[in-house]
Amino acid sequence: MKIVTVNKKAFHDYEILTKYEAGLVLLGSEVKSIRAGAVSLKDSYVEIRAGEAFLVNSHISQYACASYNNHEPRRQRKLLLNRREIRKCDQRVQVKGLTIIPLRLYLNDKGRVKLEIGLAKGKRQYEKKQKIKDRDIKREVERELKYYR
């Protein structure tokens, strides 16, 4: 498995509750651009409409060696999920006020492009600050222990 990109902002801004793996409906030039690593998941999200899931606002750069039929960088891309998974996610988004965000984009062992999405709950500002503070304290303790060893 080769990880192409990770949405670091998602892990900072949201608490991830459940993760799912989804396939993507892509054009050939998009796949080549993804293999080159020209992808950004920042500020993107998943929207469910009429029983189908779509990746919205993700950016896949145009492939330089493609013909005049190159893809649009910010187009909406359909996600391939089971109906049961889509229905479950849609219910949790509507009832509990959660959101669906992309976490990682990677190539699996067969060379297929997969997207890991997560049901997430937004963090508050004080929760983010507390997490940073805890991480700094842990780092300091590790430094001190290393010094005494």
- Write down the pLDDT at residue 96: 83
Q: Sketch out the chain's domains with CATH numbers.
A: 2-123 (2.40.280.10)
- Write down the pLDDT at residue 81: 92
Q: How many other CB atoms sit within 10 Å of the CB of residue 23?
A: 14
Q: Are 32 and 111 in contact (CB under 8 A)?
A: no
What ranges in the chain are assigned the alpha helix state H?
8-13, 28-35, 83-96, 125-148
Write the pLDDT tens digit of every residue in 13-53: 888 999 999 999 988 888 888 888 889 898 899 999 998 99
- Of the chain, the percentage scoring pLDDT greater than 70 comes to 100
- Write down the pLDDT at residue 74: 87
Average pLDDT, the chain: 89
Query: Distance (Å, rounded) from C-alpha 40 to C-alpha 20?
Result: 19
